[in-house]
């Protein structure tokens, strides 16, 4: 087999995941593993330990548990396992993914209240305080850290201060920020943080994970509303059987993730990766403005993960045409998700570097058919 054929990508994925991975991460999947064998389960244990150390310096207080499926599977496993039968969840929602948490919770029969905010506005934290003051039955609060509907980075540290003032359990969906934004979940008093293999750690799709505060999680043994998504039972099995999964695990994906974690260390850890992402986003936004394409968020609300842009002000612009032209030049971007405005999104996580962003900007500059459709190239 020609390994170059295996590792070459037909285009660069400028999305919030799945994303472009290194050739060595892809090559890590070329070996088969037995789920019962210690060689494989030791890899799982190493992954779990590393995730905790990435999340916090207080490693004794926390543990990591992996769950098959997409990131949403892990979100549902957390919501369905940590909320007791008489619990009540407050979801702070300012985008699609916050509202998805509320939809999951409601579907599971959990008493759910949504504190909804505009998609492009800063959170009004006074409303959160008022809600918790007026509704003492709320037991848990959930928020999305990076809302990839828009690219907004929500202020989880300020939310934490309010949540813990009222002694609530704090759940953070850090799907597209964990590993790409520096944080310490113990300092932030986060009880559960959730992410996925195919985001800022730069692995491939197939499983998600939660880093859980152990003394809080131990209260959850009888809560699960599902067998497959019983996160507590999954955790106990991994704890007691040296990293074994209850059901067939995505062995190749786990091995790729272990390689991705190694490459995160080689890059200099989260600090250096975050710096690369922030520089990617800065260069992208500044370059797009020079091309007459404006981001939808103010700089102070913008995450380094993904950026939403307004459509160019032209009746000749069609996203499908724009998408196809960029794909022909080797770049794949994302359609918009904001409910009441025409937008598209460009991510800069994954194996994406300054030269890639500069190449994208050049491709956009030469693809601006809407300025003069007669000269379309």
Rounded Cα–Cα distance for residues 118 and 121 (Å): 5
pTM value is: 0.95
User: So what's the pLDDT on residue 61?
Assistant: 98
Rounded Cα–Cα distance for residues 349 and 19 (Å): 7
Confidence check: pLDDT of 374 > 60: no
Token pair for 253: 């994906």
**Mean pLDDT, to the nearest integer, of 4-17?**
77
User: pLDDT for 18-42, tens place per residue?
Assistant: 999 999 999 999 999 999 899 999 9
Confidence of residue 4 (pLDDT cuts 50, 70, 90): very low
**Domains of the chain and CATH, by start:** 31-265 (3.40.640.10), 269-371 (3.90.1150.10)
Residue % of the chain over a pLDDT of 90 = 90
Confidence of residue 9 (pLDDT cuts 50, 70, 90): confident
Token pair for 200: 């800022």
Confidence check: pLDDT of 1 > 50: no
For residue 158, the tally of other CB atoms under 10 A from its CB is: 12
Which residue bears the tokens 């998805």? 100
User: pLDDT for 190-241, tens place per residue?
Assistant: 999 999 999 999 999 999 999 999 999 999 999 999 999 999 999 999 999 9
Which residue bears the tokens 């300025």? 371
User: pLDDT for 313-340, tens place per residue?
Assistant: 998 999 999 999 999 999 999 998 887 8
Confidence of residue 3 (pLDDT cuts 50, 70, 90): very low
The residue among 67 and 7 whose pLDDT is bigger is: 67
User: pLDDT for 110-130, tens place per residue?
Assistant: 999 999 999 999 999 999 999
Confidence check: pLDDT of 2 > 70: no
> Strand pairing of 306-310 and 343-347?
antiparallel
What's the whole-number average pLDDT of the chain?
95
Token pair for 275: 């710096």
> Strand pairing of 207-213 and 62-68?
antiparallel
């Amino acid at each position: 087999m020609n390994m170059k054929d295996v590792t070459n990508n037909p285009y660069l994925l400028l999305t919030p995941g799945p994303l472009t991975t290194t050739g060595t991460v892809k090559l890590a999947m070329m070996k088969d593993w037995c789920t019962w064998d210690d060689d494989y389960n030791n890899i799982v244990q190493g992954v779990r330990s590393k995730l905790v150390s990435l999340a916090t310096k207080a490693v004794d207080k926390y543990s990591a548990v992996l769950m098959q499926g997409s990131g949403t599977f892990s979100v549902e496993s957390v919501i369905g396992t940590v909320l007791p039968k008489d619990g009540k969840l407050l979801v702070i929602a300012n985008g699609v993914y916050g509202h998805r948490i509320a939809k999951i919770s409601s579907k599971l029969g959990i008493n759910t209240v949504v504190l909804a905010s505009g998609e492009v506005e800063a959170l009004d934290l006074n409303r959160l305080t008022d809600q918790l003051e007026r509704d003492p039955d709320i037991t848990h609060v959930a928020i999305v850290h990076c809302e990839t509907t828009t690219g907004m980075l929500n202020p989880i540290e300020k939310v934490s201060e309010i949540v813990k003032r009222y002694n609530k359990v704090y759940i953070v969906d850090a799907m597209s920020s964990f590993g790409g934004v520096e944080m310490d979940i113990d300092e932030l008093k986060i009880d559960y943080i959730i992410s996925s293999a195919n985001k800022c750690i730069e692995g491939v799709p197939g499983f998600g994970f939660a880093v859980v505060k152990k003394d809080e999680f131990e209260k959850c043994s009888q809560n699960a509303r599902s067998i497959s998504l019983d996160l507590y039972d999954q955790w106990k099995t991994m704890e007691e059987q040296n990293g074994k999964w209850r059901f067939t695990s995505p062995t190749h994906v786990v091995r790729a993730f272990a390689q991705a974690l190694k490459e995160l260390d080689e890059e200099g850890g989260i600090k250096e990766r975050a710096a690369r992402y922030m520089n990617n986003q800065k260069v992208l936004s500044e370059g797009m403005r020079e091309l007459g394409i404006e981001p939808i968020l103010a700089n102070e609300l913008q995450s380094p993960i993904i950026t939403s842009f307004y459509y160019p002000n032209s009746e000749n612009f069609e996203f499908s045409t724009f998408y196809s032209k960029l794909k022909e030049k080797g770049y794949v971007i994302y359609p918009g998700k904001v409910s009441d405005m025409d937008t598209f999104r460009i991510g800069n996580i994954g194996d994406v570097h300054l030269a890639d962003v500069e190449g994208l900007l050049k491709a956009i500059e030469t693809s601006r058919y809407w300025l003069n459709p007669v000269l379309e190239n």
